[in-house]
Each structure stands twice: as structure tokens, then as C-alpha cells.
Amino acid sequence: MHCPHCSSTATKERSDRTAHGYRRFRCQECGRGFNERTGSLLNRLQLPSDVVFLIVLWRLRFKLSLRDLAEILLLRGLVFSHEAVRDWETKLAPLPCPAPATQGQDRPQLVRG
Ligand SMILES: [Zn+2]
């Protein structure tokens, strides 16, 4: 495992795991600790990565509202706000947008999901 802080490969896996069960490591070069999600878009999220991906998939595929998703998963004991769903969607599923228009050309059309 590469250290996300100094890119060293001299890392050692620790015996304990994070609260969500991710493997933890210690860099032998810089001495800093990290886990499997350190440095990724999903670092420091309050839910496991697979749950966040599932929520964003349901949002995009089934067009569920932000509040519906929070309410549905509350039934399974997962507590998060509809704003959290919006943040996850923004991070994981950004809308493709056209290249900026150059002078003298038509304005680009806004892509809507
Ligand atoms: Zn390091």
C-alpha cells in the first residue's frame, strides 16, 4: 500500500481497523497513519463507501428524492440528512457539461439529468 502523504511503499498494516472496518496502515517513512479511504473522495464520510454508492445509485437510477432516500434508510438504522445525499451525489456523479463557448459561437446548452 502506498502512503497517500509521501507515496512511500514502506508501509505496515496495523492490527486494528477503522469504525467502518477499513484496514489501517502506518508509513515507515513519514510515520503518518492512514486507511484505505484516506485521500479519496469518500474519506471521512459517516457511512461505509458501499452504502454511499448504493444511495447515489438509487438517486440516479430510480430518481428518488433526497428526503425519500434519507427516510428509507432511516428504516434500516442509517441516519443522515438529505443534504448529505446531495453532497455525495455531487462528489460521485457530477453532470457532464459542455466545453465553454468561445467568442462568436452559440452558448452551450445546459445538460440536465
Ligand atoms: Zn508516508
Distance 30 CA to ligand 1 centre (A): 4
Contact (CB, 8 A) for 48 and 17: no
pTM attached to this predicted model:
0.70
Mark the residues whose beta carbon lies below 5 A from ion ligand 1: 3, 5-6, 8, 27, 29-30
- pLDDT for residue 107: 59
Kind and range of the H or E run holding 6? none
77 CA to middle of ligand 1, Å? 37
Q: How far is the CA of 25 from the centre of ligand 1 (A)?
A: 10
User: Ligand 1: distance of its center to the CA of 13 in Å?
Assistant: 13
Residue 35's φ and ψ, nearest 5 degrees, are: -130, -175
- Tens-digit pLDDT profile for residues 3-40: 999 999 999 999 999 998 999 999 999 999 999 999 98
Do residues 86 and 52 lie in contact, with contact meaning Cβ atoms separated by under 8 Å?
no
Distance CA 84, CA 88 (A): 6
34-81 pLDDT, tens digit each: 999 999 888 888 899 999 999 999 999 999 999 999 999 999 999 999
